[in-house]
Amino acid sequence: MALLKLFSALSIVFGLISALLWVISATVTVKANGEPPHGGWGGGTVQDGSGNDVVKTLGKQSLWNARAAICAALSVLFQILSLYISN
């Protein structure tokens, strides 16, 4: 019974963490520094109306999304384990 409570608690905790990480992912931005990439050789930056570097922001959002997805997967795993041992 203690294991059931542990798995249920871990499922809730990882679910809450994944929700928090997705909120961070939705709000994170990276400001453009105004310097040309690669020492002036190559393409420029893409900026939005607020002066954020779109490409770097997408990369940062991708990182936070990956972390959130891992936590969501762990939440589901612990939920499955708790259902399995309860039967």
Domain range annotation of the chain: 2-32+47-86
Residues 10-63: tens digit of each pLDDT: 999 999 999 999 999 999 999 887 666 666 565 667 778 888 888 889 999 999
pLDDT above 70 for 83: yes
CA-to-CA distance for 72 and 15, rounded, in angstroms? 6
Other beta carbons less than 10 A from residue 31's beta carbon: 12
Give the model's pLDDT for residue 52. 87
Does residue 22 contact residue 65 with C-beta atoms inside 8 Å?
A: yes
pLDDT above 90 for 64: yes
Beta bridge partners of 31: 52
